[in-house]
């Protein structure tokens, strides 16, 4: 019989604002992370502060924002009106306090819940706020949300504005550091969305004159676009679009300056409007997939009091342009695109011809593989009835986002493994609620330079595509994390490279949207009778040996198949180590794939030879250093 526990008034607790934020930080800033991924919480902290400065700029107050960031701390200084001096402490430490509740003051702001800056305060080991207004300055110092020092108001000759300095609490953000590439991308997005704004980032000026046109040019600089970028700008809506030669769709969407990486109602409305407008312009019932295939577009909209599907604001949920407005976002975007895009195509015949040519090419390619696609889909459906390649989980990424936690995006995982032994161990050790396993048979095909037809002709790729449910894009993706789990040997690395080629060649949006990861697996197990450590490097192994002292048992794992299910559970659960596969601004997919997966080019041969020489020299240097150390030791002993 289950033991009954007492449940009375003493069991009920009321947390104050900072306790709740520190207890459940994921509710306020998403995943914690160490800064390796661009959506880690430490970047949300910076975003929350800059958002307030951007709101000042949008309302005509201050044209420059200074951003200073080192590896562990940040300082943001704007030149807006400054926080009213009598409310400085309240605005950074009292939930539901702020100027954004006055819709006349902040009509189209990102955050209206009064939480952002307070979350930064509560999650920072050090937080200092300074506000300058009309020759006076107010300063307050905090630590983990606790007020340490309330400075008296003093005179100041500084220009108006707000300065906030903070250092994230390393007891919450363990081993974190700010990465320059992620910060630059974040700041460039601010510049593109606020033409004319000057961002001074550690002495480097980031600024855009042409808004989303500049954004798309920067994002597409490594790709040959089929026609010059179409740039349409109106009140509360800006669009830039073109078509390339890549597979899939590539979208950058924003709401009130917030990068909505998961899209939402505005992006859906844009895609629907493009399809409708194109069909009507050409008077042809083109397939939706042929119109949107290989599109690259940026969409920015401003709405009053936007409703997002999470605190981290990655997906717009609002239906209307304003809470009491009868105009829906779908209608607003649809009318704008229909009028502006139609007019543009009529005025630029060369662009209209190039767009039609790209659509017809997509149509020919789709029809060319129609028969084989049909047979492949039938095989995949039949295989799924008794398929041992996929051991599925119970919860999926495409389950209703309103009914499941946002963290499901991270928890819903597909491990792609090599061989039956490795997949068997992971299958037995996994969490059946959120972790699935797909087993590869042998080495996958090198698909570099091949067409989408390959995906349907190759059984492994076809079944994997159906397991992920990405045949028609990411809208119905079944797993938030797709993890390549291979042995840490030469063969395993080769399989990893072949799988990366598959995703980059045919489904780059999966990578671009941060869904692809590499599983880091331990190389060694160090243990005695009482403890065991899994080590991912020689340095970790040596550290573990020192901790155990004595003479521990050391095992070198040659492959995943050698690791027992019990052990797998230790490092695919809470202690899982994943390396995200990331794009940066300069990533050229075609160049990367050509270099690594093309025919043996002289450049690759030279790289291998040069690095082999370096390795040999390192070995020789190490041997010489060891000999010198030995001689020095002997001389000391003689002395």
356 and 382 within one domain: no
173 and 257 within one domain: no
Cα distances from 583 to residues 471, 505, 508, 549, in angstroms, run 22, 14, 10, 43
Q: How confident is the model at residue 406 (pLDDT cuts 50, 70, 90)?
A: very low
Residue 312: name the closest of 221, 438, 250, 401 by CA.
401
Q: What percent of the chain is modeled with pLDDT above 70?
A: 86
pLDDT at position 17 is: 77
Domain count, the chain: 4
Q: How confident is the model at residue 311 (pLDDT cuts 50, 70, 90)?
A: low
Report the CATH number at residue 411. Answer: 3.40.50.670
Within a domain: residue 400? Answer: yes
Within a domain: residue 72? Answer: yes
Within a domain: residue 496? Answer: yes
- Backbone phi and psi for residue 508, each to the nearest 5 degrees, phi listed first: -60, -25
Structure tokens at 199: 């961002």
Mean pLDDT in residue range 598-616: 65
Residue 409: name the closest of 343, 349, 463, 478 by CA.
478
Q: Over 60: is that where the pLDDT of 109 sits?
A: no
pLDDT at position 174 is: 87
pLDDT at position 354 is: 97
Within a domain: residue 545? Answer: no
Return the bridge partners of 385, or none.
none
N-term to C-term CA, the chain: 76
Structure tokens at 561: 């198949």
Q: How confident is the model at residue 635 (pLDDT cuts 50, 70, 90)?
A: very low
Q: Which residue has the higher pLDDT, 32 or 75?
A: 75
- Indicate the residue among 206, 236, 252 that finishes a domain: 206
Q: If you write DSSP's letter for every residue of 181-206 in order, what string do you get? A: HHHHHHHHHHHHHSTT-EEEETTEEE
Q: Which residue has the higher pLDDT, 521 or 341?
A: 341
Most confident of 309-318, 567-576, 620-629: 567-576
Residue with tokens 């520190």: 22
How far is residue 45's CA from residue 138's CA, in Å, rounded to a whole number? 22
Report the CATH number at residue 239. Answer: 3.30.230.10
pLDDT at position 192 is: 95
For residues 114 and 100, the answer to whether their CB atoms sit within 8 Å is yes
Q: Over 60: is that where the pLDDT of 342 sits?
A: yes
194 and 247 within one domain: no
Q: How many CB atoms lie within 10 A of CB 107?
A: 17
How far is residue 549's CA from residue 140's CA, in Å, rounded to a whole number? 49
Q: Over 90: is that where the pLDDT of 629 sits?
A: no
Which runs of consecutive H residues, i.e. helices, occur in 283-441? 288-292, 329-347, 349-368, 370-385, 408-411, 420-429
Where is average pLDDT lowest: 93-97, 193-197, 508-512, 614-618? 614-618
615 and 517 within one domain: no
Most confident of 54-58, 357-361, 477-481, 607-611: 357-361
59 and 180 within one domain: yes
For residues 192 and 208, the answer to whether their CB atoms sit within 8 Å is yes
27 and 46 within one domain: yes
310 and 271 within one domain: yes
356 and 383 within one domain: no
Q: How confident is the model at residue 1 (pLDDT cuts 50, 70, 90)?
A: very low
pLDDT at position 310 is: 63
For residues 135 and 154, the answer to whether their CB atoms sit within 8 Å is no
618 and 581 within one domain: no
E strand or H helix at 390, and its extent? strand 390-391
For residues 319 and 311, the answer to whether their CB atoms sit within 8 Å is no
72 and 187 within one domain: yes
- Backbone phi and psi for residue 348, each to the nearest 5 degrees, phi listed first: -130, 80
Within a domain: residue 374? Answer: yes
Q: Over 50: is that where the pLDDT of 409 sits?
A: no
For residues 543 and 473, the answer to whether their CB atoms sit within 8 Å is no
**pTM for the full predicted model:** 0.76
Report the CATH number at residue 28. Answer: 3.30.565.10
Q: Over 90: is that where the pLDDT of 12 sits?
A: no
Q: If you write DSSP's letter for every residue of 354-379 in order, what string do you get? A: HHHHHHHHHHHHHHHTHHHHHHHHHH
CA angle 556, 573, 551 (to 5 degrees): 30
For residues 249 and 293, the answer to whether their CB atoms sit within 8 Å is yes
Within a domain: residue 551? Answer: no
Q: State whether residue 449 is helix, strand or coil.
A: coil
- Backbone phi and psi for residue 399, each to the nearest 5 degrees, phi listed first: -65, 160
Q: Over 80: is that where the pLDDT of 95 sits?
A: no
Structure tokens at 148: 């340490």
pLDDT at position 632 is: 38
Q: State whether residue 52 is helix, strand or coil.
A: helix
Within a domain: residue 135? Answer: yes
How far is residue 516's CA from residue 509's CA, in Å, rounded to a whole number? 10
Most confident of 45-59, 191-205, 369-383, 475-489: 191-205
For residues 19 and 95, the answer to whether their CB atoms sit within 8 Å is no
CA angle 524, 529, 532 (to 5 degrees): 30
Residue 204: name the closest of 189, 226, 187, 221 by CA.
187
504 and 420 within one domain: yes
- Indicate the residue among 324, 348, 368 that finishes a domain: 368
DSSP-derived secondary structure letter, 444: P
pLDDT at position 611 is: 66
Residue with tokens 């939480």: 115
- Indicate the residue among 206, 229, 250 that finishes a domain: 206
Residue range of the domain that includes 143: 17-206
56 and 161 within one domain: yes
Mean pLDDT in residue range 326-350: 95
Q: What's the length of the chain?
A: 639
pLDDT at position 410 is: 54
Q: If you write DSSP's letter for every residue of 201-221 in order, what string do you get? A: ETTEEE--SSTHHHHHHHHTT
- Backbone phi and psi for residue 127, each to the nearest 5 degrees, phi listed first: -145, 120
Residues 6+ apart with CB under 8 A from 528: 548, 550, 552, 553
Q: What is the pLDDT of residues 117-167, one digit of tens each?
A: 999 999 999 999 999 999 999 999 999 999 999 999 999 999 999 999 999
Q: What is the pLDDT of residues 172-184, one digit of tens each?
A: 998 899 988 889 9
Within a domain: residue 638? Answer: no
Q: Over 50: is that where the pLDDT of 308 sits?
A: yes
């Amino acid at each position: 019989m289950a033991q009954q526990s007492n449940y009375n008034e003493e069991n009920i607790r009321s947390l104050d604002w900072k306790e709740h934020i520190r207890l459940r930080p994921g509710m306020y800033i998403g995943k914690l992370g160490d800064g390796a991924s661009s959506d880690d919480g430490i970047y949300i902290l910076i975003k929350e502060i800059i958002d307030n400065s951007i709101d000042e700029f949008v309302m005509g107050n201050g044209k420059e924002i200074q951003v200073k960031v080192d590896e562990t701390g940040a300082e943001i200084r704007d030149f807006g009106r400054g926080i009213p001096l009598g409310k400085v402490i309240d605005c950074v430490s009292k939930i539901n306090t702020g100027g954004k509740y006055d819709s006349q003051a902040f009509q189209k702001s990102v955050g209206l819940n009064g939480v952002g800056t307070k979350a930064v305060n509560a999650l920072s080991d050090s937080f200092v706020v300074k506000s300058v207004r009309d020759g006076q300055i107010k300063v307050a110092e905090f630590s983990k949300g606790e007020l340490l020092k309330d400075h008296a108001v003093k005179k100041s000759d500084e220009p108006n504005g707000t300065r906030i300095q903070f250092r994230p609490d390393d007891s919450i953000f363990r081993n974190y550091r700010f990465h320059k590439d992620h910060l630059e991308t974040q700041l460039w997005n601010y510049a593109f969305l606020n033409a004319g704004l000057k961002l001074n980032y550690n002495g480097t000026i980031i600024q855009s004159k042409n808004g989303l046109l500049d954004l798309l040019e920067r994002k597409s600089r490594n790709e040959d676009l089929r026609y010059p970028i179409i740039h349409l700008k109106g009140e509360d809506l800006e669009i830039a679009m073109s078509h390339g030669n890549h597979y899939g769709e590539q979208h950058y969407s924003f709401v009130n300056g917030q990068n909505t990486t998961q899209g939402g109602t505005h992006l859906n409305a844009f895609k629907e409007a493009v399809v409708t407008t194109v069909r009507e312009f050409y008077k042809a019932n083109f397939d939706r997939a042929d119109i949107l295939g290989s599109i690259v577009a940026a969409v920015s909209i401003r709405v009053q009091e936007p409703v997002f599907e999470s605190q981290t604001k990655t997906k717009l949920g609002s239906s209307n342009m304003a809470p009491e407005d009868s105009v829906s976002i779908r209608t607003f975007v649809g009318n704008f695109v229909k009028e502006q895009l139609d007019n543009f195509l009529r005025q630029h015949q060369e662009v209209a011809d190039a767009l039609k040519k790209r659509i017809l090419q997509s149509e020919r390619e789709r029809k060319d593989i129609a028969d084989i696609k049909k047979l492949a889909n039938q095989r995949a459906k039949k295989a799924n009835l008794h398929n041992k390649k996929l051991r599925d989980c119970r919860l999926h990424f495409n389950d209703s986002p309103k009914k499941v936690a946002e963290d499901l995006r991270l928890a819903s995982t597909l491990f792609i493994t090599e061989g039956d032994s490795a997949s068997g161990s992971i299958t037995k050790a996994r969490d059946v609620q959120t972790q699935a396993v797909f087993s590869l048979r042998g080495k996958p095909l090198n698909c570099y330079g091949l067409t989408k037809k390959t995906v349907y002709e190759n059984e492994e790729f076809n079944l994997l595509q159906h397991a992920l449910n990405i045949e028609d894009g990411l809208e119905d993706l079944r797993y938030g994390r797709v993890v390549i789990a291979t042995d840490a040997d030469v063969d395993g690395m080769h399989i990893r490279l072949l799988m990366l080629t598959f995703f980059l060649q045919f489904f780059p949006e999966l990578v671009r949207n941060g869904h692809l990861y590499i599983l880091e697996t331990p190389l060694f197990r160090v243990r005695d009778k009482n403890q065991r450590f899994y080590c991912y490097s020689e340095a970790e192994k040596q550290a573990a040996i020192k901790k155990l002292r004595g003479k521990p048992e050391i095992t070198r794992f040659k492959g995943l198949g050698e690791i027992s299910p019990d052990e797998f559970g230790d490092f695919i659960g809470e202690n899982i180590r994943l390396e995200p596969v990331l794009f940066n601004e300069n990533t050229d997919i075609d160049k990367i794939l050509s270099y690594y997966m093309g025919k043996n080019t002289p450049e690759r041969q030279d790289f291998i030879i040069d690095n082999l020489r370096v390795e040999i020299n390192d070995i020789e240097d190490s041997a010489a250093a060891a000999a010198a150390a030995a001689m020095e030791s002997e001389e000391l002993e003689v002395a």
